[in-house]
Structure 1
Amino acid sequence: MSPTIAIIGAGPCGLTLARLLERKGVDYVVYERDESDDSNRRGGSLDIHAETGQLALKEAGLFNEFKKHARYEDTSFAIANQQGERVFQIGQARDAPEIDRVLLRQILLDSIPKEKVRWNHVLKSVTLEQDGQHILQFTNGSSASGFKLVIGADGAWSKVRASITPAKPQYSGNHYIESRINPDSPYYPTMVSKVGAGTLMCLGSSKEIVTQRQGNGSYRIYLGVTVPENFVRGGIVDLEDTESTRRLFLSSEFFGNWAEELKDLIRYSEDFRSWPLYYMAPEAVSWNSVPGLTLVGDAAHVATPNGEGVNCAMADALSLASKIATYGTDALDRAVVEYEEDMFRRGVEHIKSGSTFLT
């Protein structure tokens, strides 16, 4: 007999929902594309907000465990211009401590039974049978059905979404090129002295350089640039060629006229990766509720980075779990309708507050 609910995606959103359902005694299963719980160790640092992400963790009974690992010292935030002159700065006053994404995910994974997560299940499609049942088809050749509710927590390129709405993410016109400076870098002591804890955002000429300290002391560097969608995939830049990548971004086309100390962040960066920025049109975050299906997090309302993404997603998980607990598993359609009304409002606000610094 199939569990009552299928959750597609074992990121912070899907796992928060799973943990909340676990505590409420609702049967579920999580399907995740990763091969195992340690096969994806990438991801940056997340600031978890009191009224959303922290509230969800409290309801999940995990807040004390979260606090053991949360970095309150990294809540400091500064804005500088392209000459490196700081024009705004706040210290450790915000109740939005940082935690590495992989660590938050592990806390959530450890809080639910291991057999509730099915690894190496990449969702291929969701089909509707004549009896009204949704069948999940996976790329490994397996399938699953018999669920009363399938929840897409499968990110911006959700496969569940296609069975609910034709809406798709749009390219924003902007990319982050992500890299890092590790503690073994010769530049690391200078990085610590000049940047220190928290996040530094440098803005100028429709570009951006962001530095953010991670839990292991390393720094992630994000180069924000306005480039074509195929900038990386189309071969305009080869991020595997570290030296040519550095030369390109140090050229006059990108950051050549920025302060030397900021260009040093590029000179000493390693492991360049592409992060094209997509978003859902606000008017697309609304649809007629589909019995047996719904979306949470980026699957419903992906936005350009604004510091709210994981918090909005965890708020979705809390809202949906609460509605399910209120109406019970025999009235899931009613629970979903009320959840979606709440989520639509929150999702549109989230998208509209997305970063616009590059436009």
Structure 2
Amino acid sequence: MTAPTIAIIGGGPCGLTLARLLECKGIDYVVYERDESENSNRAGGSLDIHPETGQHALREGGLFDEFKRYARYDDTVFTLADNFGKRLVKVGQGRDAPEIDRSDLRKILLDSIPKDKIKWGHTLTSATVGEDNLPVLQFANGNLLSGFKLVVGADGAWSKVRNVITQATPQYSGTSYLESKIGLENPLYETIASNAGAGMFLSMGPEKLIVTQRQGDGSYRNYFGLQVPEDFFRNGTVDLQDVEATRRLLLSDYYADWSDEHKDLIRHATDLRPWALYTLSTEDLGWKSVPGFTLIGDAAHLAIPNGEGVNLAMTDSFKLASKIAEHGIENFDQAVQEYEADMFPRGIATIADGKGMGEVMFSGDSKAFLELMGL
């Protein structure tokens, strides 16, 4: 059986956006995703989709009307407070950057491509170049596949495709988040709904912060940002299975001088999950193109979250699909070279922006943060 022309590694918003755009252009592809089925990955919070980037890619894929069915335009509000609970600014009402749950965006994209174009249960373990100079893909399920003319790494921070192209490796940023949830059944729910309201609520303190964000079902995700060692949640210091002990540690060692409003978020936290922040360096971008391979999204330019991640990834998908359509499947090398030359400056800028935003946010200097945001 002849292999599809393009293999996309990763079925997140980035890889699926590329798949949809190739589908629209009649270009052959297949998506390999590590999840066992479309229902097996429901992790992830809410994403704001910007008009010039993420929304543009959805329009090009004919999906904007479907996107609007799920988009939450009332959740564009951004509120900033200090660690004592004082509200400093509330902005963003009516901004054209609606929120959508990651799972909803993924569903829209999945429903837009044929079911046989995505292969579930395929975790890539290595990508190499075969004797015929074409890509060879080894998967954890034992499948060894080849014959592709182009492999696109949309496989995130720890991309296996990246290893073929560059020696760049993500570095720990020095900060981690502990994610938690306040569901509609939580005793604190009515209080947090009243206090935090719509959109995102950011509370800043020296070397710590708390992000509260409303989700599509009305629940809230809270992210407790800490400057801790890379293995803080893995070395036994914190046993997340012992929720009460974790709450006590946060209350006594990290948020002791924060307001009771913030402490209640800890006292009622459930569904704890660690999230260490990694980033590539600006020097990591600018590699020499490798025939048969390229990267998009976090695989290409992993950055500390700065509000642009998924939007930039979807832009990568749009730009790459456009270059492939322009040059044709017989001239992938030219398409990739032009795409990468266009992508590098965007990637370098978002890595630098992420680093700068992270430093200001964890400084506790709300004035500097407002200046950075142009507020």
Classify the TM-score, shorter chain. over 0.9
Q: Give the aligned partner of residue 36 of structure 1.
A: 37
Match of 2:368 in 1: none
3-state SS, counterpart of residue 271 of structure 1: strand
| 2:135 match | 134
Q: What is the total number of aligned residue pairs between the two structures?
A: 358
Residues 51 and 96 in structure 2, CA contact (< 8 A), matched pair in contact too: yes
Report what 2:336 is aligned to: 336
Q: Which residue of 2 aligns with 1:113?
A: 114
Deviation (angstroms), 1:133: 1.3
- Residue 270 of structure 1, CA deviation: 0.5
Query: Does residue 229 of structure 1 match 2:230?
Result: yes
Name the residue aligned to 2:370. Answer: none
Letter in 2 for 1:314: M
Report the residue type matching 1:142 in the other structure: N
Cα distance in 2 for residues equivalent to 1:98 and 1:334: 36
Q: Write the letter of the residue equivalent to 1:146.
A: G
- Aligned amino acid, residue 261 of structure 2: E
Structure 2 distance, partners of 1:328, 1:52, is 24
Q: Is the 8 A contact 2:134 2:146 kept in 1?
A: yes
Distance 2:300 2:317 in 1: 12
Higher helix share goes to which structure? 2
Separation in 2, partners of 1:291, 1:335: 11
Residues 1:144 and 2:145 are matched in the alignment: yes
Matching of residues 20-99 of structure 1 within 5 Å: 20-99=21-100
Aligned-partner Cα distance in 2 for 1:102–1:351? 25
Deviation at 1:24, TM superposition (A): 0.2
Q: Which SS does the other structure have where 1:177 is aligned?
A: strand
Deviation (angstroms), 1:278? 0.3
Q: Deviations over 1:103-135 (max 9, x none)?
A: 100100000000000000000101211220111
Give the Cα–Cα distance (whole angstroms) in 1 for the partners of residues 132 and 146 of structure 2.
Answer: 11
Does the alignment pair 1:358 with 2:362? yes
Which residue is 1:302 aligned to?
A: 302
SS at match of 2:254: coil
* 1:76-225 equivalence runs, <5 A: 76-225=77-226
SS of 1:250 mapped into structure 2: helix
Corresponding residue for residue 19 of structure 2: 18
Question: Residue by residue, what CA displacement relative to the aligned partner does 1:168-222 show, whole Å, maximum 9, x if unpaired?
Answer: 1000000010001000011111111111111000001111001000001000000
More divergent stretch after superposition (83-92 vs 61-70) = 83-92
Letter in 1 for 2:89: F
- AA of the residue aligned to 2:73: Y
Counterpart code for 1:132: N
Larger displacement relative to structure 2 (124-133 or 95-104): 124-133
Q: Which runs of 5+ in 2 are unaligned?
A: 364-375
Question: 5+ residue gaps in structure 1?
Answer: none
1:156-177 CA-partner distances (Å, limit 9, x unpaired): 0000000000001000000010
CA contact (8 A) 2:177 2:223 kept: yes
**Corresponding residue for 1:241?**
242
- Cα distance in 1 for partners of 2:300, 2:240 equals 30
**Pairwise CA RMSD of aligned residues?**
0.7
Distance in 2, matches of 1:140 and 1:320, equals 29
Task: Tell me the SS of whatever aligns to 2:133.
Answer: coil
Whether the aligned pair in 1 keeps the contact of 2:74 and 2:94 (CA below 8 Å) is no
For residue 93 of structure 1, report the CA deviation from its aligned partner.
Answer: 2.7
* Residues in 2 aligned to 1:123 and 1:91: alpha-carbon distance in whole angstroms: 40
- The list of structure 1 runs, each at least 4 consecutive aligned residues, that deviate by more than 2 angstroms after superposition, is none
> Secondary structure in 2 aligned to 1:229?
coil
Give the share of equivalent positions with the same residue, in percent.
61
Matched residue type, 1:6? A
- Report the 3-state secondary structure (helix = DSSP H, G, I; strand = E; otherwise coil) of the residue aligned with 2:186: coil
Cα deviation 1:19-50 (Å, max 9, x = unaligned): 00000000000000000010111110000000
SS in 2 for 1:94: coil
1:353 counterpart SS class: helix
Deviations 1:60-97 (A, max 9, x none): 00000000110000000011100111112104231100
Measured in 2, the distance between the counterparts of 1:4 and 1:334 equals 16
- Separation in 1 of the partners of 2:166 and 2:186? 47
Which residue identity is paired with 1:125? S
Partner of 1:282: 282
Query: Which AA in structure 1 matches 2:34?
Result: R
After TM superposition, the structure 1 stretch with the greater mean CA deviation from structure 2, 265-274 or 88-97, is: 88-97
TM superposition shift of 1:358: 2.1
TM-score after normalising by structure 2: 0.95
Superimposed CA distance per residue, residues 306-341 of structure 1 (whole angstroms, 9 cap, x where no aligned partner): 111000000000000000010010111000000001
Note if contact 2:49-2:97 (Cα within 8 Å) is conserved in structure 1. Answer: yes
